[in-house]
Structure 1
Amino acid sequence: MSTPNTFTTTVHPFPSPTPHACAYEIGPQNAKNSLVFIGGLGDGPHTVPYTRAIAKRLEEDTSVSYSMFEFRLKSSYSAFGFARLVDDVADITALVKYLRSIGKERVILMGHSTGCQDCLEYTAPAHDTPPVDGYILQAPVCDRDAIALEMGNDQLEKSIAAAKKLIDAGRSHERMTLTQLPGFMQDTPISAWRWYSLVAADGEDNYFSPDLTDEVAASYWKRIGKPLLILHSGNDEFIPDSLDKEGLVNHWRELCNPGIASKLSGTIPGATHNVEEPEAEDWLCSTVAKFLQSIK
Protein backbone atom coordinates (compact mmCIF):
# COMPACT_ATOMS: atom_id res chain seq x y z
CA MET A 1 0.00 0.00 0.00
CA SER A 2 1.38 3.41 -0.94
CA THR A 3 1.81 6.11 1.68
CA PRO A 4 -0.97 8.74 1.47
CA ASN A 5 0.11 12.19 0.45
CA THR A 6 0.24 14.87 3.11
CA PHE A 7 -2.29 17.69 2.93
CA THR A 8 -2.99 20.94 4.74
CA THR A 9 -6.16 21.67 6.70
CA THR A 10 -7.37 24.53 8.89
CA VAL A 11 -8.86 23.40 12.20
CA HIS A 12 -11.97 25.17 13.50
CA PRO A 13 -12.98 24.37 17.10
CA PHE A 14 -16.69 25.06 17.43
CA PRO A 15 -19.42 24.66 20.09
CA SER A 16 -21.31 21.40 19.66
CA PRO A 17 -23.19 18.75 21.68
CA THR A 18 -20.16 16.54 20.98
CA PRO A 19 -17.34 17.68 23.31
CA HIS A 20 -14.13 19.11 21.81
CA ALA A 21 -15.70 19.33 18.35
CA CYS A 22 -13.51 20.55 15.50
CA ALA A 23 -14.14 21.09 11.81
CA TYR A 24 -11.36 20.65 9.28
CA GLU A 25 -11.35 23.05 6.33
CA ILE A 26 -9.61 22.12 3.09
CA GLY A 27 -9.19 24.80 0.45
CA PRO A 28 -9.01 28.59 0.54
CA GLN A 29 -9.77 30.05 3.96
CA ASN A 30 -11.23 33.15 2.35
CA ALA A 31 -13.88 31.17 0.45
CA LYS A 32 -17.34 32.71 0.75
CA ASN A 33 -19.16 29.38 0.82
CA SER A 34 -18.88 25.99 2.51
CA LEU A 35 -19.37 22.41 1.33
CA VAL A 36 -19.86 20.25 4.43
CA PHE A 37 -19.03 16.55 4.01
CA ILE A 38 -20.88 13.98 6.12
CA GLY A 39 -19.53 10.45 5.86
CA GLY A 40 -21.13 7.06 6.36
CA LEU A 41 -20.85 4.27 8.91
CA GLY A 42 -17.27 4.01 10.14
CA ASP A 43 -16.23 7.26 8.49
CA GLY A 44 -14.81 10.37 10.10
CA PRO A 45 -12.65 13.29 9.00
CA HIS A 46 -10.28 12.34 6.16
CA THR A 47 -11.45 8.73 5.66
CA VAL A 48 -12.95 9.33 2.19
CA PRO A 49 -10.14 10.56 -0.10
CA TYR A 50 -12.33 12.19 -2.76
CA THR A 51 -13.09 15.09 -0.40
CA ARG A 52 -9.58 16.40 -1.06
CA ALA A 53 -10.00 15.96 -4.81
CA ILE A 54 -13.25 17.96 -4.71
CA ALA A 55 -11.62 20.65 -2.58
CA LYS A 56 -8.76 20.94 -5.08
CA ARG A 57 -11.17 21.19 -8.02
CA LEU A 58 -13.19 23.90 -6.30
CA GLU A 59 -10.03 25.84 -5.46
CA GLU A 60 -9.05 25.79 -9.14
CA ASP A 61 -12.54 26.85 -10.28
CA THR A 62 -12.71 30.65 -10.23
CA SER A 63 -16.46 30.62 -10.92
CA VAL A 64 -17.25 29.41 -7.39
CA SER A 65 -15.88 30.26 -3.96
CA TYR A 66 -16.10 27.13 -1.81
CA SER A 67 -13.95 25.29 0.69
CA MET A 68 -14.62 21.78 1.98
CA PHE A 69 -15.37 21.07 5.65
CA GLU A 70 -15.14 17.70 7.39
CA PHE A 71 -15.90 17.19 11.07
CA ARG A 72 -16.19 14.55 13.74
CA LEU A 73 -19.71 13.64 14.76
CA LYS A 74 -20.70 11.73 17.87
CA SER A 75 -21.20 8.74 15.54
CA SER A 76 -17.89 9.01 13.67
CA TYR A 77 -15.48 6.13 13.16
CA SER A 78 -16.48 3.17 15.40
CA ALA A 79 -19.02 5.11 17.49
CA PHE A 80 -21.99 4.75 15.13
CA GLY A 81 -23.28 1.65 16.92
CA PHE A 82 -24.60 3.60 19.90
CA ALA A 83 -25.64 6.80 18.12
CA ARG A 84 -28.75 7.82 16.17
CA LEU A 85 -29.49 10.06 13.19
CA VAL A 86 -30.91 12.65 15.60
CA ASP A 87 -27.47 12.85 17.25
CA ASP A 88 -25.89 13.52 13.87
CA VAL A 89 -28.47 16.23 13.13
CA ALA A 90 -27.58 17.97 16.39
CA ASP A 91 -23.88 17.94 15.44
CA ILE A 92 -24.59 19.15 11.89
CA THR A 93 -26.81 21.91 13.24
CA ALA A 94 -24.00 23.12 15.50
CA LEU A 95 -21.57 23.29 12.57
CA VAL A 96 -24.03 25.10 10.30
CA LYS A 97 -24.60 27.72 13.01
CA TYR A 98 -20.84 28.13 13.41
CA LEU A 99 -20.29 28.54 9.67
CA ARG A 100 -22.97 31.21 9.53
CA SER A 101 -21.37 32.96 12.49
CA ILE A 102 -18.05 33.30 10.63
CA GLY A 103 -19.78 34.77 7.60
CA LYS A 104 -20.21 31.86 5.19
CA GLU A 105 -22.82 32.90 2.62
CA ARG A 106 -23.85 29.47 1.36
CA VAL A 107 -23.69 26.15 3.17
CA ILE A 108 -24.19 22.93 1.19
CA LEU A 109 -24.46 19.53 2.90
CA MET A 110 -22.87 16.60 1.07
CA GLY A 111 -23.75 13.18 2.42
CA HIS A 112 -21.88 9.99 1.55
CA SER A 113 -23.51 6.60 2.21
CA THR A 114 -25.29 6.82 5.59
CA GLY A 115 -24.41 10.51 5.60
CA CYS A 116 -27.18 10.76 2.98
CA GLN A 117 -29.65 9.56 5.62
CA ASP A 118 -28.34 12.37 7.83
CA CYS A 119 -29.13 14.90 5.10
CA LEU A 120 -32.72 13.72 4.80
CA GLU A 121 -33.11 13.54 8.58
CA TYR A 122 -31.85 17.14 8.73
CA THR A 123 -34.92 18.20 6.74
CA ALA A 124 -37.41 16.71 9.22
CA PRO A 125 -39.60 19.55 10.58
CA ALA A 126 -39.36 18.18 14.13
CA HIS A 127 -35.68 19.19 14.33
CA ASP A 128 -36.17 22.90 13.48
CA THR A 129 -32.70 23.03 11.92
CA PRO A 130 -31.09 26.19 10.52
CA PRO A 131 -31.57 26.39 6.74
CA VAL A 132 -28.86 25.36 4.31
CA ASP A 133 -28.58 26.15 0.61
CA GLY A 134 -28.44 22.74 -1.02
CA TYR A 135 -27.79 19.02 -0.67
CA ILE A 136 -25.63 16.43 -2.42
CA LEU A 137 -26.31 12.73 -1.84
CA GLN A 138 -23.50 10.42 -2.99
CA ALA A 139 -24.02 6.65 -2.65
CA PRO A 140 -27.45 6.82 -0.94
CA VAL A 141 -27.64 3.06 -0.38
CA CYS A 142 -30.15 1.07 1.63
CA ASP A 143 -28.22 -0.31 4.62
CA ARG A 144 -30.72 -3.16 4.96
CA ASP A 145 -30.04 -4.39 1.42
CA ALA A 146 -26.29 -3.84 1.72
CA ILE A 147 -26.06 -5.90 4.90
CA ALA A 148 -28.28 -8.63 3.43
CA LEU A 149 -25.67 -9.10 0.69
CA GLU A 150 -23.19 -10.13 3.40
CA MET A 151 -25.45 -11.98 5.87
CA GLY A 152 -28.17 -13.43 3.69
CA ASN A 153 -31.84 -12.66 4.24
CA ASP A 154 -32.55 -15.51 6.67
CA GLN A 155 -29.73 -14.62 9.06
CA LEU A 156 -30.59 -10.94 8.79
CA GLU A 157 -34.22 -11.56 9.74
CA LYS A 158 -33.10 -13.59 12.76
CA SER A 159 -30.88 -10.73 13.92
CA ILE A 160 -33.72 -8.23 13.45
CA ALA A 161 -35.98 -10.43 15.57
CA ALA A 162 -33.31 -10.62 18.28
CA ALA A 163 -32.95 -6.83 18.31
CA LYS A 164 -36.73 -6.36 18.46
CA LYS A 165 -36.93 -8.74 21.41
CA LEU A 166 -34.34 -6.69 23.33
CA ILE A 167 -36.08 -3.42 22.48
CA ASP A 168 -39.48 -4.73 23.58
CA ALA A 169 -37.92 -5.87 26.86
CA GLY A 170 -36.61 -2.35 27.57
CA ARG A 171 -33.03 -3.37 26.78
CA SER A 172 -32.53 -1.34 23.60
CA HIS A 173 -29.05 -0.19 24.63
CA GLU A 174 -27.68 -3.71 25.01
CA ARG A 175 -25.05 -4.78 22.51
CA MET A 176 -25.86 -7.20 19.72
CA THR A 177 -23.76 -10.38 19.84
CA LEU A 178 -21.08 -11.00 17.22
CA THR A 179 -23.03 -13.87 15.67
CA GLN A 180 -25.92 -11.47 15.03
CA LEU A 181 -23.78 -9.08 12.97
CA PRO A 182 -22.07 -9.28 9.56
CA GLY A 183 -18.34 -9.90 9.61
CA PHE A 184 -17.39 -6.36 8.57
CA MET A 185 -19.25 -4.91 11.59
CA GLN A 186 -18.07 -7.28 14.30
CA ASP A 187 -15.32 -4.93 15.47
CA THR A 188 -17.90 -2.25 16.30
CA PRO A 189 -20.21 -2.36 19.36
CA ILE A 190 -23.78 -1.93 18.07
CA SER A 191 -26.85 -1.53 20.25
CA ALA A 192 -30.11 -3.33 19.58
CA TRP A 193 -31.75 0.01 18.85
CA ARG A 194 -29.20 1.11 16.23
CA TRP A 195 -29.11 -2.30 14.61
CA TYR A 196 -32.91 -2.34 14.28
CA SER A 197 -32.83 1.21 12.95
CA LEU A 198 -30.32 0.23 10.26
CA VAL A 199 -31.78 -3.04 9.03
CA ALA A 200 -35.49 -3.27 9.84
CA ALA A 201 -38.02 -2.31 7.18
CA ASP A 202 -39.55 0.17 9.66
CA GLY A 203 -36.19 1.31 11.07
CA GLU A 204 -35.61 5.03 11.42
CA ASP A 205 -32.57 4.88 9.09
CA ASN A 206 -34.54 3.33 6.23
CA TYR A 207 -34.79 6.26 3.81
CA PHE A 208 -33.51 4.64 0.62
CA SER A 209 -35.05 1.19 0.34
CA PRO A 210 -36.36 0.57 -3.19
CA ASP A 211 -39.31 -1.21 -1.52
CA LEU A 212 -40.67 1.91 0.18
CA THR A 213 -44.09 2.87 -1.10
CA ASP A 214 -44.26 6.08 -3.11
CA GLU A 215 -46.41 7.60 -0.38
CA VAL A 216 -43.75 7.01 2.26
CA ALA A 217 -40.79 7.90 0.04
CA ALA A 218 -42.43 11.08 -1.25
CA SER A 219 -43.00 12.25 2.32
CA TYR A 220 -39.20 12.32 2.69
CA TRP A 221 -38.21 13.74 -0.69
CA LYS A 222 -40.79 16.51 -0.64
CA ARG A 223 -39.29 17.86 2.59
CA ILE A 224 -36.29 19.06 0.59
CA GLY A 225 -36.77 22.68 -0.41
CA LYS A 226 -33.31 23.52 -1.74
CA PRO A 227 -31.32 22.34 -4.79
CA LEU A 228 -30.51 18.64 -4.64
CA LEU A 229 -27.95 16.48 -6.45
CA ILE A 230 -28.34 12.68 -6.24
CA LEU A 231 -25.41 10.51 -7.35
CA HIS A 232 -25.34 6.74 -7.09
CA SER A 233 -22.06 4.91 -7.75
CA GLY A 234 -22.28 2.91 -10.97
CA ASN A 235 -20.47 -0.15 -9.58
CA ASP A 236 -21.37 0.21 -5.89
CA GLU A 237 -20.44 -3.02 -4.12
CA PHE A 238 -23.14 -2.42 -1.49
CA ILE A 239 -26.02 -2.48 -3.99
CA PRO A 240 -27.50 -5.67 -5.50
CA ASP A 241 -26.59 -6.07 -9.18
CA SER A 242 -30.27 -6.43 -10.00
CA LEU A 243 -31.11 -2.88 -8.88
CA ASP A 244 -31.66 -0.29 -11.63
CA LYS A 245 -29.71 2.53 -10.00
CA GLU A 246 -30.34 5.06 -12.76
CA GLY A 247 -34.04 4.28 -12.71
CA LEU A 248 -34.18 4.64 -8.92
CA VAL A 249 -32.45 8.03 -9.03
CA ASN A 250 -34.88 9.23 -11.69
CA HIS A 251 -37.81 8.01 -9.60
CA TRP A 252 -36.53 9.89 -6.55
CA ARG A 253 -36.20 13.02 -8.68
CA GLU A 254 -39.83 12.63 -9.71
CA LEU A 255 -40.89 12.37 -6.07
CA CYS A 256 -39.25 15.72 -5.24
CA ASN A 257 -41.04 19.01 -5.61
CA PRO A 258 -40.65 20.46 -9.14
CA GLY A 259 -37.31 22.13 -9.83
CA ILE A 260 -35.56 20.75 -6.73
CA ALA A 261 -33.61 17.72 -8.00
CA SER A 262 -30.82 18.64 -10.41
CA LYS A 263 -30.76 17.22 -13.93
CA LEU A 264 -27.10 16.42 -13.21
CA SER A 265 -28.31 13.61 -10.93
CA GLY A 266 -27.57 10.06 -12.01
CA THR A 267 -24.89 7.39 -11.59
CA ILE A 268 -21.13 7.93 -11.46
CA PRO A 269 -19.69 5.81 -14.30
CA GLY A 270 -17.45 2.99 -13.09
CA ALA A 271 -17.49 4.13 -9.47
CA THR A 272 -17.38 1.89 -6.43
CA HIS A 273 -18.97 3.01 -3.18
CA ASN A 274 -16.17 5.40 -2.15
CA VAL A 275 -15.40 6.49 -5.73
CA GLU A 276 -11.80 5.26 -5.56
CA GLU A 277 -11.27 5.07 -9.34
CA PRO A 278 -9.41 8.09 -10.83
CA GLU A 279 -11.76 8.60 -13.79
CA ALA A 280 -14.85 8.24 -11.61
CA GLU A 281 -13.39 10.64 -9.05
CA ASP A 282 -12.73 13.19 -11.80
CA TRP A 283 -16.33 12.80 -13.04
CA LEU A 284 -17.61 13.32 -9.49
CA CYS A 285 -15.49 16.44 -8.98
CA SER A 286 -16.68 17.97 -12.25
CA THR A 287 -20.34 17.22 -11.52
CA VAL A 288 -20.17 18.63 -8.01
CA ALA A 289 -18.54 21.80 -9.37
CA LYS A 290 -21.26 22.18 -12.02
CA PHE A 291 -23.95 21.72 -9.40
CA LEU A 292 -22.44 24.34 -7.10
CA GLN A 293 -22.16 26.75 -10.05
CA SER A 294 -25.91 26.37 -10.58
CA ILE A 295 -26.80 27.50 -7.04
CA LYS A 296 -27.43 31.22 -7.06
Structure 2
Amino acid sequence: MLFFLTIQYFNETFENDQPNNKWNIIGESEKLEIAQCSASFQFLIRNCLHVNNTDKRFHASAEMKTEITSTPFLVQFTAKTQMPTTGSLISLSMLNGEESEVELTLTYSDDDPQYAFIDSSQNKTIGNITHERDLTHHITLVVNTDNTYYIYANGIILKGGVLSKPIKFPLNKVELLVENGNTTSQIGNIIVTSDIKDRYPLLISTFLQFRQIERLDRLRVIVDAEEMRLFDGTPIDEPLDREDEYGVPLEFSKADPRNFNFPFKLERPKERLSKLKEAQRPSTLDKRMQKKDFDPLANSETQERAEL
Protein backbone atom coordinates (compact mmCIF):
# COMPACT_ATOMS: atom_id res chain seq x y z
CA MET A 1 0.00 0.00 0.00
CA LEU A 2 1.31 3.43 -0.98
CA PHE A 3 0.90 6.50 1.17
CA PHE A 4 1.29 9.95 -0.36
CA LEU A 5 2.37 12.73 1.95
CA THR A 6 0.71 16.03 1.11
CA ILE A 7 2.99 19.05 1.29
CA GLN A 8 2.14 22.72 1.62
CA TYR A 9 4.93 24.48 -0.25
CA PHE A 10 3.76 28.05 0.17
CA ASN A 11 0.87 29.74 1.98
CA GLU A 12 0.43 33.51 2.10
CA THR A 13 -2.76 34.73 3.77
CA PHE A 14 -1.29 38.04 5.06
CA GLU A 15 -2.66 37.32 8.53
CA ASN A 16 -2.50 39.82 11.39
CA ASP A 17 -1.36 42.59 9.04
CA GLN A 18 1.94 40.77 8.64
CA PRO A 19 2.91 38.53 5.72
CA ASN A 20 3.70 34.92 6.57
CA ASN A 21 6.59 34.92 4.13
CA LYS A 22 9.45 37.37 3.75
CA TRP A 23 8.87 39.31 0.55
CA ASN A 24 11.91 40.89 -1.07
CA ILE A 25 11.07 44.00 -3.08
CA ILE A 26 12.40 43.95 -6.65
CA GLY A 27 13.38 47.23 -8.34
CA GLU A 28 11.10 50.25 -8.13
CA SER A 29 8.04 48.97 -6.35
CA GLU A 30 5.27 50.04 -4.02
CA LYS A 31 5.64 49.02 -0.38
CA LEU A 32 3.82 45.97 0.95
CA GLU A 33 0.40 47.28 2.04
CA ILE A 34 -1.82 44.80 3.90
CA ALA A 35 -5.52 45.33 4.63
CA GLN A 36 -8.69 43.29 4.95
CA CYS A 37 -9.97 41.79 1.71
CA SER A 38 -13.36 42.72 0.30
CA ALA A 39 -14.07 38.98 0.34
CA SER A 40 -14.01 38.78 4.12
CA PHE A 41 -16.34 39.00 7.10
CA GLN A 42 -16.10 39.16 10.86
CA PHE A 43 -16.16 35.40 11.53
CA LEU A 44 -13.74 34.49 8.74
CA ILE A 45 -11.40 37.42 8.24
CA ARG A 46 -9.06 37.42 5.25
CA ASN A 47 -6.33 39.94 4.49
CA CYS A 48 -4.98 40.90 1.08
CA LEU A 49 -2.14 42.78 -0.51
CA HIS A 50 -3.61 46.11 -1.66
CA VAL A 51 -2.15 48.12 -4.54
CA ASN A 52 -4.33 51.23 -4.47
CA ASN A 53 -2.38 53.80 -6.46
CA THR A 54 -2.96 53.95 -10.19
CA ASP A 55 -0.02 53.66 -12.57
CA LYS A 56 1.97 51.91 -9.82
CA ARG A 57 3.52 48.46 -9.56
CA PHE A 58 4.31 45.96 -6.85
CA HIS A 59 7.09 43.49 -7.62
CA ALA A 60 8.52 41.11 -5.01
CA SER A 61 9.66 37.54 -4.45
CA ALA A 62 9.60 35.13 -1.50
CA GLU A 63 11.27 31.81 -0.76
CA MET A 64 9.06 28.75 -0.57
CA LYS A 65 8.64 27.04 2.77
CA THR A 66 9.45 23.72 1.07
CA GLU A 67 10.84 23.26 -2.43
CA ILE A 68 8.65 21.64 -5.08
CA THR A 69 10.52 18.61 -6.35
CA SER A 70 7.81 16.81 -8.32
CA THR A 71 4.26 16.89 -9.59
CA PRO A 72 1.37 17.06 -8.83
CA PHE A 73 0.93 20.52 -7.37
CA LEU A 74 -1.70 23.25 -7.20
CA VAL A 75 -1.18 27.01 -7.43
CA GLN A 76 -3.99 29.41 -6.55
CA PHE A 77 -4.62 33.04 -5.68
CA THR A 78 -7.57 35.43 -5.44
CA ALA A 79 -7.79 38.78 -7.19
CA LYS A 80 -10.17 41.71 -7.27
CA THR A 81 -9.75 44.76 -9.50
CA GLN A 82 -11.90 47.72 -10.44
CA MET A 83 -12.74 48.45 -14.05
CA PRO A 84 -11.70 49.97 -16.40
CA THR A 85 -8.32 48.34 -16.00
CA THR A 86 -6.43 49.00 -19.22
CA GLY A 87 -2.73 48.27 -18.85
CA SER A 88 -3.06 46.29 -15.61
CA LEU A 89 -1.84 42.80 -14.83
CA ILE A 90 -1.36 40.33 -11.98
CA SER A 91 1.29 37.66 -12.41
CA LEU A 92 2.33 34.81 -10.09
CA SER A 93 5.41 32.77 -11.05
CA MET A 94 7.16 29.67 -9.70
CA LEU A 95 10.94 29.89 -10.14
CA ASN A 96 13.87 27.52 -10.27
CA GLY A 97 16.54 29.86 -8.95
CA GLU A 98 16.03 32.88 -11.18
CA GLU A 99 14.36 31.08 -14.09
CA SER A 100 10.57 31.05 -14.34
CA GLU A 101 9.17 27.55 -14.90
CA VAL A 102 5.48 28.23 -14.28
CA GLU A 103 3.70 31.56 -14.68
CA LEU A 104 0.01 32.33 -14.22
CA THR A 105 -1.04 35.80 -15.38
CA LEU A 106 -4.18 37.94 -15.56
CA THR A 107 -3.95 40.79 -18.06
CA TYR A 108 -6.71 43.41 -17.88
CA SER A 109 -8.12 45.65 -20.58
CA ASP A 110 -11.38 47.50 -21.25
CA ASP A 111 -12.95 44.13 -22.00
CA ASP A 112 -12.95 41.01 -19.84
CA PRO A 113 -9.52 40.10 -18.41
CA GLN A 114 -7.35 37.64 -20.27
CA TYR A 115 -5.63 34.83 -18.41
CA ALA A 116 -2.41 33.22 -19.60
CA PHE A 117 -0.49 30.17 -18.40
CA ILE A 118 3.13 30.30 -19.56
CA ASP A 119 5.45 27.31 -19.18
CA SER A 120 9.25 27.22 -19.31
CA SER A 121 9.21 27.10 -23.13
CA GLN A 122 7.17 30.32 -23.21
CA ASN A 123 4.22 28.44 -24.67
CA LYS A 124 0.97 30.15 -23.74
CA THR A 125 -2.53 28.98 -22.98
CA ILE A 126 -4.79 32.02 -23.32
CA GLY A 127 -8.47 32.71 -22.70
CA ASN A 128 -10.92 35.22 -21.20
CA ILE A 129 -12.66 35.41 -17.83
CA THR A 130 -16.01 37.12 -17.32
CA HIS A 131 -15.11 39.98 -15.01
CA GLU A 132 -17.33 41.29 -12.21
CA ARG A 133 -15.80 44.35 -10.61
CA ASP A 134 -17.64 43.91 -7.31
CA LEU A 135 -16.58 40.29 -6.81
CA THR A 136 -13.32 38.52 -6.04
CA HIS A 137 -12.05 36.03 -8.61
CA HIS A 138 -10.37 32.74 -7.74
CA ILE A 139 -7.64 31.57 -10.16
CA THR A 140 -6.16 28.07 -9.95
CA LEU A 141 -3.58 26.04 -11.86
CA VAL A 142 -3.27 22.27 -11.39
CA VAL A 143 -0.26 20.39 -12.80
CA ASN A 144 -0.60 16.59 -12.77
CA THR A 145 1.99 13.82 -12.65
CA ASP A 146 1.58 13.11 -16.39
CA ASN A 147 2.49 16.75 -17.21
CA THR A 148 -1.09 17.66 -18.06
CA TYR A 149 -2.42 20.89 -16.61
CA TYR A 150 -5.78 22.57 -16.04
CA ILE A 151 -6.69 26.20 -15.40
CA TYR A 152 -9.75 27.08 -13.31
CA ALA A 153 -11.51 30.37 -12.64
CA ASN A 154 -14.05 30.56 -9.81
CA GLY A 155 -14.20 26.77 -9.62
CA ILE A 156 -14.95 26.29 -13.33
CA ILE A 157 -12.42 24.66 -15.63
CA LEU A 158 -11.34 26.96 -18.46
CA LYS A 159 -8.67 25.14 -20.41
CA GLY A 160 -6.16 22.35 -20.18
CA GLY A 161 -3.24 20.92 -22.06
CA VAL A 162 0.14 19.21 -21.86
CA LEU A 163 3.38 20.93 -20.89
CA SER A 164 5.66 21.47 -23.89
CA LYS A 165 8.50 20.04 -21.80
CA PRO A 166 8.83 18.75 -18.23
CA ILE A 167 9.26 21.30 -15.46
CA LYS A 168 12.80 21.76 -14.25
CA PHE A 169 12.76 21.07 -10.52
CA PRO A 170 13.20 22.16 -7.80
CA LEU A 171 10.91 25.17 -7.69
CA ASN A 172 12.02 27.21 -4.71
CA LYS A 173 10.75 30.76 -5.15
CA VAL A 174 7.48 32.62 -5.72
CA GLU A 175 7.45 35.91 -7.61
CA LEU A 176 4.49 38.30 -7.60
CA LEU A 177 4.07 41.20 -10.03
CA VAL A 178 1.13 43.64 -9.91
CA GLU A 179 0.90 46.52 -12.37
CA ASN A 180 -1.92 49.03 -11.98
CA GLY A 181 -3.14 50.99 -14.97
CA ASN A 182 -6.11 53.09 -13.88
CA THR A 183 -7.39 50.68 -11.27
CA THR A 184 -6.89 49.29 -7.77
CA SER A 185 -6.06 45.67 -6.98
CA GLN A 186 -6.41 43.17 -4.14
CA ILE A 187 -4.42 39.94 -4.20
CA GLY A 188 -4.58 37.28 -1.51
CA ASN A 189 -4.92 33.64 -0.47
CA ILE A 190 -1.77 32.58 -2.32
CA ILE A 191 -1.36 28.84 -1.86
CA VAL A 192 0.96 26.27 -3.44
CA THR A 193 0.33 22.69 -2.33
CA SER A 194 0.60 19.07 -3.44
CA ASP A 195 -2.82 18.28 -1.95
CA ILE A 196 -5.11 18.54 -4.97
CA LYS A 197 -7.83 15.99 -4.25
CA ASP A 198 -8.80 17.20 -0.75
CA ARG A 199 -7.50 20.76 -0.65
CA TYR A 200 -9.07 22.13 -3.82
CA PRO A 201 -12.73 21.36 -2.94
CA LEU A 202 -12.17 23.04 0.44
CA LEU A 203 -10.68 26.12 -1.21
CA ILE A 204 -13.61 26.38 -3.61
CA SER A 205 -16.16 25.91 -0.82
CA THR A 206 -14.59 28.74 1.22
CA PHE A 207 -14.28 30.96 -1.84
CA LEU A 208 -17.95 30.49 -2.77
CA GLN A 209 -18.96 31.51 0.77
CA PHE A 210 -16.97 34.72 0.39
CA ARG A 211 -18.47 35.32 -3.03
CA GLN A 212 -21.98 34.99 -1.60
CA ILE A 213 -21.12 37.52 1.12
CA GLU A 214 -19.80 39.95 -1.50
CA ARG A 215 -22.99 39.57 -3.54
CA LEU A 216 -25.17 40.27 -0.49
CA ASP A 217 -23.07 43.30 0.46
CA ARG A 218 -23.32 44.64 -3.08
CA LEU A 219 -27.08 44.05 -3.12
CA ARG A 220 -27.40 45.91 0.19
CA VAL A 221 -25.54 48.91 -1.26
CA ILE A 222 -27.78 48.94 -4.35
CA VAL A 223 -30.97 48.75 -2.24
CA ASP A 224 -29.80 51.54 0.08
CA ALA A 225 -28.93 53.75 -2.89
CA GLU A 226 -32.31 53.07 -4.50
CA GLU A 227 -34.14 53.94 -1.28
CA MET A 228 -32.27 57.22 -1.06
CA ARG A 229 -33.11 57.95 -4.68
CA LEU A 230 -36.81 57.19 -4.22
CA PHE A 231 -37.33 59.06 -0.96
CA ASP A 232 -34.53 61.57 -1.35
CA GLY A 233 -33.75 61.15 2.33
CA THR A 234 -37.12 62.63 3.40
CA PRO A 235 -38.69 60.81 6.38
CA ILE A 236 -42.24 59.70 5.59
CA ASP A 237 -43.73 61.50 8.63
CA GLU A 238 -42.55 64.92 7.45
CA PRO A 239 -44.76 67.04 5.14
CA LEU A 240 -43.82 66.92 1.49
CA ASP A 241 -43.75 70.36 -0.14
CA ARG A 242 -42.64 69.32 -3.61
CA GLU A 243 -44.89 68.93 -6.64
CA ASP A 244 -45.61 65.95 -8.85
CA GLU A 245 -45.41 65.90 -12.65
CA TYR A 246 -48.83 67.61 -12.91
CA GLY A 247 -47.88 70.49 -10.61
CA VAL A 248 -50.01 69.22 -7.73
CA PRO A 249 -48.40 69.43 -4.28
CA LEU A 250 -47.35 65.95 -3.27
CA GLU A 251 -49.13 66.14 0.08
CA PHE A 252 -52.47 66.31 -1.83
CA SER A 253 -51.41 64.13 -4.72
CA LYS A 254 -52.13 60.45 -5.31
CA ALA A 255 -48.35 59.99 -5.49
CA ASP A 256 -48.19 60.49 -1.74
CA PRO A 257 -48.39 56.96 -0.25
CA ARG A 258 -50.12 58.41 2.83
CA ASN A 259 -53.14 59.36 0.69
CA PHE A 260 -53.32 56.10 -1.24
CA ASN A 261 -56.81 54.56 -1.33
CA PHE A 262 -56.53 50.81 -0.95
CA PRO A 263 -58.86 48.79 -3.26
CA PHE A 264 -60.00 46.70 -0.28
CA LYS A 265 -61.40 47.36 3.18
CA LEU A 266 -58.94 47.20 6.05
CA GLU A 267 -60.43 45.68 9.19
CA ARG A 268 -60.14 47.57 12.40
CA PRO A 269 -58.20 45.77 15.16
CA LYS A 270 -61.31 45.51 17.41
CA GLU A 271 -63.43 44.06 14.59
CA ARG A 272 -60.82 41.43 13.86
CA LEU A 273 -60.53 40.54 17.55
CA SER A 274 -64.30 40.07 17.90
CA LYS A 275 -64.32 37.76 14.88
CA LEU A 276 -61.57 35.65 16.40
CA LYS A 277 -63.48 35.38 19.68
CA GLU A 278 -66.62 34.38 17.79
CA ALA A 279 -64.70 31.66 15.93
CA GLN A 280 -63.30 30.31 19.19
CA ARG A 281 -66.70 30.27 20.99
CA PRO A 282 -67.59 26.63 21.93
CA SER A 283 -70.49 25.06 20.02
CA THR A 284 -73.59 23.44 21.60
CA LEU A 285 -72.09 19.99 20.91
CA ASP A 286 -68.87 20.94 22.71
CA LYS A 287 -70.90 21.96 25.76
CA ARG A 288 -72.72 18.62 25.76
CA MET A 289 -69.47 16.64 25.54
CA GLN A 290 -68.14 18.40 28.62
CA LYS A 291 -71.00 16.96 30.74
CA LYS A 292 -70.32 13.78 32.70
CA ASP A 293 -73.55 11.99 31.66
CA PHE A 294 -73.03 12.62 27.93
CA ASP A 295 -73.66 9.47 25.86
CA PRO A 296 -72.26 9.79 22.29
CA LEU A 297 -74.41 6.80 21.13
CA ALA A 298 -77.66 8.22 22.43
CA ASN A 299 -80.17 9.78 20.10
CA SER A 300 -79.60 13.52 19.89
CA GLU A 301 -83.31 14.12 20.55
CA THR A 302 -83.17 11.96 23.69
CA GLN A 303 -80.01 13.73 24.80
CA GLU A 304 -81.65 17.13 24.43
CA ARG A 305 -84.67 15.98 26.52
CA ALA A 306 -82.31 14.65 29.18
CA GLU A 307 -80.64 18.02 29.33
CA LEU A 308 -84.02 19.65 29.78
Calculate the TM-score normalised by the size of structure 1: 0.22
- Greater share of strand residues, 1 or 2? 2
Larger % of helix: which?
1
- Name the structure, 1 or 2, with higher relative contact order (CA <8 Å, separation 6+): 2
Larger radius of gyration between Structure 1 and Structure 2: 2
